[in-house]
Each structure stands twice: as structure tokens, then as C-alpha cells.
């Protein structure tokens, strides 16, 4: 069979693009920068959504829905936010088309111009805080813990499927609290939730940390992030949680009567993860044969391929397979039986390898005689033959093992590719090779900026877990008490 | 406690508006015509989505996601579609804002004008069929059964929460088939699925039927509809399923190689239900005290209110209540225990009545002594005292009874308000009173139109279930072989 993917070594970026398309995850659409998410890709996203949604609800959050459009003037209300967000946006200026009598087709009706332009939401703080104003009067209305699943639009010049698209899908949490301490606790709770999800479902190890001032969300006092390392040595910011202080409450005049009867501004957080997680999932684990999916997020965890020469053999195999399927389903394991007759087994094997199905079973007439089945693991590409009796239990254990193994592999890769450096020369050569670099930094935006201009590396975060350590900034030589995390990034 | 809702008799339309807002379902937003769906309302929508999504998947459909934006030129490709849809739309003309140096704030950057305007999708046939062109080559690729959950925008001049909003949430199914018969089968399968959902989950009886030519979806050869009757006697179109023939395949040049190796145009369907269903659900069952929810779609099915005078009593009640909650949850019944101390029981009773919680339990010190609990039904507003031992089984049965009762009540209401009429005089007086009117029609658009101008009544559908019957059109006196369904409508 012909190789369907460019190899990672040959061209990592092309490999990613090939993989997303060939594995039927997504494709570019007729609208510049907007993607079509194909059913197989969307099924993975749905699994992500289901787990995250459960985690949000278990921590007391409720879902709601706010308008797609935001009046232009709303963006000017929070000073820092306007600079960060009200720029590369899709702007609705008219509300009607009419028949084009001259050229045929339709044209924008010049008489249907909006008095105030509407912005397609790039993020919803402004429209949500203008709504919260009516929802919050007293401390009894707090905390308010709201999430929304939505599409957002940011006009990107250079787009890549899942990683950076003009329209993308995400969830955005927006919470309101009576005290600063409570809002910070919420911000931290969510970044921990995101890390839990990334590590235990996506099998992607992440570093939790704080963004520097220059990398913060526009309007936030603090931005927490989770940073993952991709196989090409670049970091991928995978989720952020923002402590917004009282900025949005002040911008939209949202006050509450405290227990003591005083009027006070509300404290806010916001946080989100997006279809970008799909990019992280794909790049963290996959290989030159295709996708490698963690069992917990695979649309189906097991595929069964019958090997047969005639209808009689197929019938006998199918009878046995149906028993296995019943047992697997009883254990909550999702399984697909591909007995289609228009493709050869070899083609099917390659296809399911490409699509990252964690476990593949193959069963032929000799297996029926011997009471055996061939089990292939996608993560290690190894095969072995086992007894069909009890294969359901075998597979249940195997799926757990695969989930753990994928995480461990990514964890080890990150460990091997995380380097402490102490000189700028070393910094530059290490950063260029890819991977995480832990180095001392003097804490100034000036140094951060110069390093970025010089090497393209950015401070991914100030990790939450770190050791205090006397040192000097690799760039300026000024004193520093801790190392921060640098990397090239997506 | 003060009455919170306008009564239905007083002003039905105001009653609806009051109810949606006071029961925390939705509210108008800062953006004209766009609503905010509040958490309690969204929780009901999520329950609807979950059931529908399960039903779609069980019938072989897969979810995907297509762009929010559609290039303007796409609308001109299907002749009938352009007239129906490319009119009252939100049009994106620019992709950047910039600081307004003169007036402050931000302004649209005139240099960032799009070459071709983008339309915010009012429905996605055009963008999806332009995509399907690449997905379909051979009969092996068919049928293609795709659904998407999405937001859409239709610029409405007069809006009402849930019933007609500029932005709304919906699902839109788009399927492609090798034969006409298969596509028609799909169209019918879905209208049956919608009717099943409306009747068995929403407890709203519906009439399935075909739309007349003038009421068809723009681009469809046939539109199937489910029509529900609201308490004010108006019909609400609650879901539609369209047989699109080969119109979109021809417009976007989507052909497939048949088994016989011939190139043929693909046959299409599309179908959708939206947050409008929320309006149907609210209006079909609710009363002057508030919402009445069918147990299968209630965010929580049971609320428990403790009646106590001191902390000691509350502790004893809570201990007993926790036992009950455990047993209810084991039966898959969702329950909320409201032991908050800042509101009196009477206030809570009214609040949960307003919110339509199907069953309310109240338990006080005397109940503890007697081993009893007070059970109140929202649908009948009746109360009785029962033994707390076995109350979980009692409630499980009661929830089923309530689900059935709500449906029966709505069914009887419809029966009482469905009238056969044979003269135009009778037609006019009956239509004016509200309800469904079954009358003979001569089958011409001209008559349909004149009746509409005369009485505001429209042909809701040609019911799928009907008896052949010789008669004459109520308006023209021309011969007719069947009655059709007329009503005033939303």
C-alpha cells in the first residue's frame, strides 16, 4: 500500500496537514480560514466536550447561551480588552441582500445598513458582563458560575486546521464572585481541571503556570495556562484561565450589596479551551502511520476485522464476533465490526491505523478452530494472538494500559526535551533544537521582548511548581530567584 | 405572595413573555432580536438535544460542523433558494476594526473590506453541498447522513423569545442518497422521529403532514411538517423535513458513479428543529402559576423542601431526605434539595411551581414522627400525604403518570379544538375562535392565498393521515377529495 502521509522527519508541518485530512478529521472550507470538521474529527471533539462538560457541572457550573453578535461600542468599554480583541474581527454592517438587477445574483442592500455595526464575538466577556449587570444585585446572587459552548471568530491571516482558524469552537466560562480570594480560587480550580482533563483524558502532560504580563489575556490581572510539548519540540498553549479582577465589573458597572450592606464591584474570571485541543491531541501522540488516539477519547476503541474467503466462513466468524461484541459493550467498550466486502483486510488494517483506533482484532477460520484472536495495539504497533475466551477482560485491561502508555511516552518525551540552561549561548542553541527550556529571567518585559526578537522563543509560563533558586538572568545577568519556561510555540 | 404572571385570559402574549422571563428561561439581549438563554432554560434545551442526538445517532446519522459564514455568491446557485433565504441576512463586509482617532472608541477599518461579502448562515444547504461535492464520488459514499448542531441568523423584524429570534440554535440534518426513493424514505423517517420526540418527550401531540407548495422550504420539492396546537388556539410549526430532489446536487454539481457505472446527480434531504421547540413546550402545557414541564425534559424532576423551625429539626429532616435522595438517584430520578435558609417554604413552593418542577416533596417534624411526606404534583396542583417508606417507587410511578397526563391533557385540548367545517361562513367564525380547522380546499395557490388574506388562516399541512372524502372547497366550491388543516399560526 502506498504511504499516505509525509513523514514527520521529512516535513512535520506537512505531516500534520496530511494527517488531519487523511484521517478524516477536518478540511479547509470554501470560506478562507474556516474549517469543516468531519464526522470522525467531530466525534472526538464530542467526547472531549462530554468529559469537560461533566467536570464543569460537577464543580457547580451551569451552561447558558449569549448572542453571537456584540455591539461595536461594547469593545471600547474595557480599556485593555479593546486593544487585545477589537481588532481582527468579522464586522456585520448590513442586514439584507437584494437581487442584483444589473449583474444578476444578489447584492448587499445599501438601504439596510446597521446604525451600529455588530462584531461577531471573538470572546464574550463584554456581552456577558453587560448581561450579568441585570443578574447580580446582592451577595445572594453570587457566585455566578456560567459556561457556554459556542463558536467564535478571530480574523487570522495565517490559519492551520484546528490550531488556528478564523472560526473555531470552544467553551468559555464566565464567573462572578463576591471576593478577590474566591475569584482567584476559581481561576486556579479551572486550570487544575484543564490539566486533569489534558493528562487523564487526552494523555497529554502539561505544565501549569502563569503567563507574563505581556502574554496575558487582554483585560486580565493574571492568566493561568497549561502548556503542552508537541513532537516537533514546539509548545502548544492548550487552555487558559483568567483572573479578571474588577475590570469588567467596573467597565459594565456590576455591583452587589454585600452582607454588610455595602455596594461593591464584583470579581470576575473567564476561561476557555477550544478545538485547538484537537491539534494538541493529534500532534502529541501520532506517528508516521497516522493518528494515535487515547482510548478515553477514541470514537470507537476497538475495531474487529474478519478474515475470510467465502460467505460461509464470514457467517461463522460473525457469529463468534457477535458474542465478543456483546461482552465488550457490556463493559462499556465501544466497538466497530467492519465486515464490508469491498475492501481487503490489509486495506482495512492500514485505514484503522491511520484513524488511530486503539485496538484492532482480526479473526479468521484458523482462529475459530483454535479459539484464538489476533490483537493489534495501535500505540506500539505490536500484535499477538490470545484466546478468544476472556478477550473482553483482556481488552479492558489493554485499553487502560494503552491510555497509560501513551501518557508515559509523551511524559518521557517531554522530560528528555526539557533542559535547564544557564548561559545565553546555550539558551540559543537549545531553544533552536526545540523542547522546553528552563532558564532564569530578570522579570522585565524588555528582556522578554529582546529574547523573543532574538530567538523567537517566548516565556510559555512561570510554572506553578518550581524551586526557589538563586541565579542570574540568561540574557541580562540580573539576579533572579526562579527559572521560567521558554520555548518556540504554535 | 403577589401574582407574578399576567393570566392567559387577560393577555396570552404577555403571559408568555412574563413566563419566559420570570421562570428564568431566557431574556432579550443588548443586541436587537437576539436572546440570552439562561441556565434553567438552557438545561431544558440540553435535555432536548441529548434525546434528539441519541435518536439521530440510532438512525445512523453522524455529527459534523460547517462554517458559520457563507460566500454571498453561493446563495445565487440554487434559484428557488436564493429567493427564500438570501434576503434578511446578517452580512459581514469587513474584517478589522481600528482605533477611532477622532471620536474615540473603535471604528470599522475601511481598508479591511472583504472582496466578497460573507453571509452569516441562515441555513447551511449551500455551504454543505459545496462540501459534499468533494465527499461524494461513488455509490459507495452514499448514503451520507450528516447532522450539525449550530447557531443560525435570520434578520427578523418582529421577534419573540424562542419563537422567533434573529439568532437561534438548531440542528440541521443534510443527507445525500443514491435514489429518489431512499431520499423520500429519509425525509419521512425524520418527520416520524420528530413526531416521536414531540409526543413522547415534550408531551406535545402533533399533526404530521405535507406543506402546500407556497409554504415549502425554498429549494424543496416537498416539505413535511409537524404542527402543534398552542393553548391560545394558534398552530406552531415545530419541525420540518425537506425532500430536496436533485436541486442542490445540480446547483453544486454533485454527481456519483452508480453501481452500473453511470454518473448521476445525488438526491438530497434536509431537516431541522430549533430552540423554537422551547416555545412549543412552554405554551403547550403551562398555566397561570407558571411553567409545567414534562418529567422527561425537566432539569430536575423532584424538589424537596424542608419545613423546620430550628437547626436541630433541619438536621433530622436532612438525614431522612438524604436517604430519599439516594434512592431516587438510584432510579435515575433527578432531584434538588433546597434547604437554603434565606427564603420561607411558601416562597420556595411558588418558585418551583413557577419553574414547573414536576413533583415537590415537603417534609417537616411531624412527617418525621409519622413517617410521612407531602407530595405535590405540578400538573394538577394537587397534594397528598404518603408514607416516606417506598416514596421512591411512588415517585417513579408518579413521574410516568404526569408525563402521560400532560400529553393526554394537550391531546384532549386539541381534540376539543379541532373542527370540521363545510361552509366559508362557518370557516371564518371557527378560524377566528382559534384551533385547528379541517376543511376542503380546491388545491390551488390562488384559493389558499385568498383565504389567507381574508382570514389570516394558513394551510398548516395536508395531514399524512386522512380519509378520502368527496367534498367541495369551502372557498371556491370546486371539488375536493380530502380535507386539509387550517389555522392561525405563530
pLDDT given at position B417: 98
Interface contact flag, A92 B95, Cβ < 8 Å:
no
- The domain boundary, picked from A285, A317, A349, lies at A285
B214: exposed, middle or buried (Cβ count in 10 Å: 0-12, 13-18, 19+): exposed
Mean pLDDT of A105-114: 94
Nearest C-alpha neighbor of B285 from the set B392, B108, B403: B403
How confident is the model at residue A2, as a pLDDT?
55
CB interface of B with A, residues 94-113, below 8 Å? 94-98, 104-108
What is the tens place of the pLDDT at every residue in A287-323? 999 999 999 999 999 999 999 999 999 999 999 999 9
Neighbours of B341 (CB within 10 A): 9
Looking at the fold, whether A164 and A46 belong to one and the same domain comes out as yes
Chain-chain contact of A105 with B76 (C-beta, under 8 angstroms)? yes
**Residue B127: closest CA among chain A residues belongs to which residue?**
A30
* Bridge-based pairing state of the strands B418-420 and B436-440: parallel
**pLDDT, mean of residues A337-351:** 94
Chain A touched by B340 (CB under 8 Å)? no
**Cell output for B107:** 471604528
Pair (A156, A233) in one structural domain: yes
Q: For B312-327, how does the pLDDT look when each residue is reduced to its tens digit (9 = 90+)? A: 999 999 999 999 999 9
In sequence order, what are the residues at sequence separation of 6 or more whose Cβ sits closer than 8 angstroms to the Cβ of residue A264? A178, A255, A256, A258
For every residue of chain B, which 3-state class applies, written as one string?
A: CCCCCCCCCCCHHHHHHHHHHHCCCEEECCCCCCEEECHHHHHHHHHHHHHHHHHHHHCCCEECECCCEEEHHHHHCCHHHHHHHCCCCCEEEECCEEECCCCCCEEECCCCEEEEEEEECCCCHHHHHHHHHHHCCEHHHCCEEEEEEEEEECCCCCCECCCECCEEEEEEEEEEECCHHHHHHHHHHHHHHHHHHHHHCCCCCCEEEECCHHHCCCCCCEEEEEEEECCCCCEEEEEEEEEEECHHHHHCCCEEECCCCCEEECEEEEEEEECHHHHHHHHHHCECCECCCCHHHCCCCEEEEECCCCHHHHHHHHHHHHHHHHHHHHCCCCEEECCCCCCCHHHHHHHHHHCCCCEEEEECHHHHHHCEEEEEECCCCCEEEEECCCHHHHHHHHHHHHHHHHHHHHHHHHHHCEEECCCHHHHHHHHHHCCEEEEECCCCHHHHHHHHHHHCCEEEEEECCCCCCCEECCCCCCEECCEEEEECEC
Q: A104: pLDDT confidence band, cut at 50, 70 and 90?
A: confident
User: Do residue A204 and residue A239 come from a single domain?
Assistant: yes
Residue A161: list chain B partners with CB under 8 A: none
Supply the pLDDT for residue A402: 98
| B37 pLDDT tier (thresholds 50, 70, 90) | very high
Rounded-to-integer distance, Cα B250 and Cα B254, Å: 6
Q: Select from B22, B31, B104 the residue whose CB has the most chain A CBs within 10 Å, as the one to mutate to test that interface.
A: B31
The CATH code of the domain that includes B140 is 3.30.930.10
- Give B2's pLDDT tier (boundaries 50, 70, 90): low
Does A190 reside within a domain?
Answer: yes
Number of domains making up chain A: 3
Over the stretch A199-209, which tens digit does the pLDDT of each residue have? 999 999 999 99
Helices A391-416 and A311-330 pack at an angle, to 10 degrees, of 70
| A70 at B interface, C-beta within 8 A | yes
Residues of B in contact with A140 (CB under 8 A): 342
- Asked whether the beta carbons of residue B68 and residue A146 sit closer than 8 angstroms, the reply is no
The side-by-side arrangement of strands in the sheet containing B113-120 is A69-71, A113-120, A91-94, B91-94, B113-120, B69-71
Return the pLDDT at A364: 97
Q: How far B159 CA sits from the closest chain A CA (Å)?
A: 14
Minimal Cβ distance to B63: which of A46, A90, A106: A46
CA distances from B232 to A18, B16, B282, B439 (A): 57, 11, 12, 20
Q: What is the ipTM of this complex?
A: 0.96
B34 lies within 8 A of chain A by CB: yes
C-beta separation of A175 from A146 below 8 A: yes
Q: Average pLDDT over chain B, rounded to whole?
A: 96
Q: What gap in Å lies between CA B89 and CA B73, rounded to an integer? A: 14
Mean pLDDT score across all residues of chain A? 96
Nearest chain A alpha carbon to B106: A76
Residues B237 and B461: beta-carbon distance below 8 Å? no
Q: Which of B285, B303, B327 is the last residue of a domain?
A: B285
Domain membership flag for residue B76: no
Residue A246 has pLDDT above 70, yes or no: yes
By residue count, chain B amounts to 490
Residue A449's Cβ-side half-sphere holds a number of Cα atoms within 13 Å equal to 5
Is A29 touching B (CB cutoff 8 A)?
yes
Tens digits of residue pLDDT in B351-406: 999 999 999 999 999 999 999 999 999 999 999 999 999 999 999 999 999 999 99
Cβ contact, residue pair A153, B68, below 8 Å: yes
Sheet holding B207-210: strands in order across?
B62-63, B144-153, B167-177, B267-274, B235-245, B222-229, B207-210, B458-463, B483-487, B436-440, B418-420
Backbone angles phi, psi at A335, to 5 degrees: -145, 145
- Rounded-to-integer distance, Cα A374 and Cα A387, Å: 9
Distance of alpha carbon B375 from alpha carbon B362, whole angstroms: 7
For residue B166, what is the nearest residue in chain A, using CA coordinates?
A: A67
User: Of the spans A335-344, A414-423, B93-102, which averages the highest pLDDT?
Assistant: A414-423
- Does the pLDDT of residue A1 top 60, yes or no? no
Interface touch B95/A72, C-beta < 8 Å: no
Q: Are residues B318 and B455 in the same domain?
A: no
Output the pLDDT for position A252: 96
Q: A35 lies in a domain?
A: yes
Query: With 70 as the cut, is the pLDDT of residue A330 above it?
Result: yes
Rounded distance between C-alpha atoms, residue A413 and residue A436, angstroms: 11
Q: Which domain holds residue A158?
A: 12-67+135-285
Alpha-carbon distance A243 to A271, whole Å? 9
Same domain flag for A423 and A405: no
| Chain A touched by B127 (CB under 8 Å) | yes
**Mean per-residue pLDDT, B465-469:** 95
Residue A45's contacts (CB-CB under 8 Å, 6 or more residues apart) are A37, A169, A275, A278
Residue A118 belongs to a domain: no
B175 shares a domain with B37? yes
Cα end-to-end distance, chain A, whole Å: 33
- A75 close to B (CB below 8 A): yes
Rounded CA separation B366/B192 (Å): 50
Beta carbons of A241 and A224 less than 8 angstroms apart? yes
Average the pLDDT over A184-205 and give the result: 98
Structure confidence at residue A329 as a pLDDT band (50, 70, 90):
very high
In chain B, whose CA is at the least distance from the CA of A63?
Answer: B39
Interior angle at CA A320, CA B59 and CA A325, nearest 5: 40
Helices B12-22/B276-285 angle, 10° precision: 110
User: pLDDT per residue over B94-137, tens digit each?
Assistant: 999 998 888 888 999 999 999 999 999 999 999 999 999 999 99
What would the 3-class secondary structure string for B92-161 be? EEECCEEECCCCCCEEECCCCEEEEEEEECCCCHHHHHHHHHHHCCEHHHCCEEEEEEEEEECCCCCCEC
Let me know if residue B3 belongs to a domain.
no
A46-88 pLDDT tens trace:
999 999 999 999 999 999 999 999 999 998 887 777 777 768 9
> Does A279 share its domain with A166?
yes
What's phi and psi for B94, nearest 5 deg?
-135, 160
Q: What is the CA radius of gyration of chain B?
A: 26
Cell numbers for B102 = 477622532
For residue B86, the model assigns a pLDDT of 65
| Confidence bin at B82 (pLDDT 50/70/90) | confident
Q: For residue B1, is pLDDT > 50? A: no
With beta carbons less than 8 A apart as the criterion, state whether A418 and A442 touch: no
Q: String of b and e for A62-87 (b: at least 16 CB within 10 Å)? A: bbbbbbbbbbbebbbbbebbbebbbb
Instruction: Please indicate, yes or no, whether residues A383 and A443 belong to a single structural domain of this protein.
Output: no
CATH code at position B422: 3.30.110.30
d(CA B360, CA B383): 9
Question: Tens digits of per-residue pLDDT, B200-241?
Answer: 999 999 999 999 999 999 899 999 999 999 999 999 999 999
A353-381 average pLDDT score? 98
Q: Binning pLDDT at 50, 70 and 90, where does residue B83 land?
A: confident
Average pLDDT (A2-16) is 91
The CATH number assigned to the domain holding B387 equals: 3.40.50.800
Whether residue A29 and residue B120 make contact (CB cut-off 8 A), yes or no, is no
Residues A313 and A397 in one domain: yes
Rounded to two decimals, the pTM is 0.97
Pairwise CB contact (< 8 Å): A167 & B70? no
Report the residue of A40, A90, A99 to disrupt the B interface, i.e. the one with the largest count of B CBs within 10 Å: A90
Closest CB to B72 among A72, A88, A106: A106
Give the percent of chain A with pLDDT over 90.
Answer: 93
Residue A111 domain-assigned? no
* Cβ pair B254, B266 in contact under 8 A: yes
Pairing of strands A144-153, A62-63: parallel
**Mind listing the pLDDT tens digit for each residue in B131-163?**
999 999 999 999 999 999 999 999 988 999 999
Asked if residue A228 and residue A254 are part of one domain, the reply reads yes
Q: How far is CA A291 from CA A5, A149, A233, in A?
A: 11, 26, 18
Residue B4 lies in a domain: no
Sign of the alpha-carbon dihedral angle for A62, A63, A65, A70: positive
Residues in chain A with CB shorter than 8 Å from the CB of B62 are: 39, 42-43
Do both A230 and A300 map to the same domain?
A: no
d(CA B458, CA A68): 33
- In this prediction, residue B254 has a pLDDT band, given cuts at 50, 70 and 90, of very high
Q: Kindly tell me if the per-residue pLDDT of B298 is higher than 50.
A: yes
Domain boundary among B285, B304, B338: B285
How much of chain A exceeds pLDDT 70, in percent? 99
State how far the Cα of A278 lies from the Cα of A48, in Å rounded to an integer: 9
Judgement on whether residues B405 and B432 belong to the same structural domain of the protein:
no
A72 inside domain: no
pLDDT at B108: 94
pLDDT given for residue A86 in this prediction: 65
Amino acid at each position: 500500500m502506498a504511504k499516505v502521509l509525509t513523514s514527520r522527519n521529512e516535513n512535520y508541518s506537512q505531516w500534520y496537514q496530511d494527517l488531519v485530512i487523511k484521517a478524516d478529521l477536518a478540511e479547509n472550507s470554501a470560506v478562507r480560514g474556516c474549517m469543516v470538521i468531519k464526522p470522525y474529527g467531530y466525534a472526538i471533539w464530542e467526547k472531549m466536550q462530554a468529559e469537560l462538560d461533566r467536570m464543569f457541572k460537577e464543580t457547580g457550573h451551569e451552561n447558558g447561551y449569549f448572542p453571537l453578535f456584540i455591539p461595536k461600542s461594547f469593545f471600547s468599554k474595557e480599556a485593555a480588552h479593546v486593544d487585545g480583541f477589537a481588532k481582527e474581527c468579522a464586522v456585520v454592517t448590513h442586514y439584507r441582500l437584494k437581487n442584483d438587477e444589473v449583474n444578476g445574483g444578489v447584492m448587499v442592500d445599501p438601504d439596510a445598513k446597521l446604525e451600529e455595526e455588530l462584531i461577531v464575538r471573538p470572546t464574550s466577556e463584554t456581552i456577558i458582563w453587560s448581561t450579568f449587570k441585570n443578574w447580580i444585585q446582592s451577595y445572594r446572587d453570587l457566585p455566578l458560575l456560567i459556561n457556554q459552548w459556542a463558536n467564535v471568530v478571530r480574523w487570522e491571516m495565517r490559519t492551520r486546521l484546528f490550531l488556528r482558524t478564523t472560526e473555531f469552537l470552544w467553551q468559555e466560562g464566565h464567573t462572578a464572585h463576591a471576593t478577590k480570594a474566591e475569584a482567584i480560587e476559581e481561576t486556579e480550580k479551572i486550570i487544575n481541571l484543564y490539566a486533569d482533563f489534558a493528562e487523564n483524558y487526552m494523555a497529554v502532560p502539561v505544565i501549569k503556570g502563569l503567563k507574563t504580563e505581556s502574554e496575558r489575556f487582554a483585560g486580565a490581572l493574571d492568566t493561568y495556562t497549561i502548556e503542552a510539548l508537541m513532537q516537533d519540540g514546539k509548545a502548544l498553549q492548550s487552555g487558559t484561565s483568567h483572573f479578571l479582577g474588577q475590570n469588567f465589573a467596573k467597565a459594565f458597572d456590576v455591583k452587589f450589596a454585600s452582607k454588610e450592606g455595602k455596594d461593591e464591584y464584583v470579581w470576575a474570571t473567564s476561561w476557555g479551551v477550544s478545538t485547538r485541543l484537537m491539534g494538541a491531541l493529534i500532534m502529541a501522540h501520532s506517528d508516521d502511520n497516522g493518528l494515535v488516539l487515547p482510548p478515553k477519547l477514541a470514537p470507537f476503541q476497538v475495531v474487529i476485522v474478519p478474515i475470510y474467503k467465502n460467505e460461509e466462513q464470514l457467517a461463522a466468524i460473525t457469529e463468534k464476533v457477535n458474542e465478543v461484541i456483546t461482552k465488550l459493550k457490556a463493559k462499556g467498550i465501544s466497538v466497530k465490526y467492519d465486515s464490508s466486502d469491498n475492501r481487503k483486510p490489509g486495506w482495512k488494517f492500514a485505514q484503522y491505523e491511520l484513524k488511530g483506533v486503539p485496538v484492532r482484532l482480526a479473526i479468521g477460520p484458523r482462529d475459530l478452530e483454535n479459539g484464538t484472536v489476533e490483537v493489534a495495539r495501535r500505540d506500539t504497533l505490536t500484535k499477538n494472538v490470545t484466546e478468544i475466551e476472556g478477550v473482553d477482560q483482556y481488552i479492558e485491561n489493554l485499553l487502560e494500559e494503552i491510555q497509560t502508555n501513551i501518557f508515559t511516552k509523551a511524559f518521557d518525551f517531554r522530560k528528555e526535551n526539557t533542559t535547564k540552561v544557564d548561559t545565553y549561548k546555550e539558551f540559543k542553541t537549545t531553544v533552536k533544537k526545540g523542547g522546553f527550556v528552563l532558564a532564569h529571567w530578570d522579570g522585565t518585559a524588555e528582556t522578554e521582548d529582546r529574547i523573543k526578537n532574538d530567538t523567537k522563543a517566548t516565556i510559555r509560563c512561570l510554572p506553578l511548581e518550581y524551586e526557589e533558586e538563586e541565579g542570574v538572568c540568561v540574557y541580562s545577568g540580573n539576579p533572579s530567584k526562579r527559572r521560567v519556561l521558554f520555548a518556540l510555540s504554535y
